[in-house]
Amino acid sequence: MKGTGGFGNLMKQAKRLQEEIERAQAEIAEMKVEATAGGGMVTATVTGQGDLTNLKIEREVVDPDDIEMLIDLVIAAVQEAQSNAKEAAQQKLGPLAQGMGLPGMPLG
């Protein structure tokens, strides 16, 4: 049969691309991304998937009379770290998605 060789090559390419995507996703899961707020007073660390893994708060920023400021700093640090992680994941997966002819890939 003619044309089956092309399909076989396409299947090999798809399998190779799938393996590359899985490898990139594993690397993303292992990434640690940090961001700070309040001049480094609050540091958030997230995985490449955006899951919070660590939160460091300097003692000087803890003011019992101004808990709202601390909350704002924590939220800002976590959101920035998650945004940075999403961007890093898109950069890692972007070329693979383009190889498939897709405009982008959902990250979770």
Among 22-36, 40-54, 85-99, the least confident range: 85-99
pLDDT in tens, 57-100: 999 999 999 999 999 999 999 999 999 999 998 888 877 666 55
pTM: 0.71
- Which of 37, 53, 75 shows the shortest CA–CA distance to 45? 53
CA dihedral 20, 21, 26, 32 (to 10 degrees): 110
Residue 8 identity (one-letter amino acid)? G
Q: Which domains are seen in the chain, by residue range? A: 4-99 (3.30.1310.10)
- Classify residue 40 by its DSSP letter: T
Task: Evaluate if residue 37 carries a pLDDT over 50.
Answer: yes
**Matching residue, tokens 């640690």:** 32
Is residue 107 within 8 A of residue 49, CB to CB? The reply is yes
Find all residues with CB under 8 Å of 40, minimum gap 6, and list them.
58
Task: Evaluate if residue 49 carries a pLDDT over 50.
Answer: yes
Which pLDDT band, with edges at 50, 70 and 90, does 11 fall under? Answer: confident
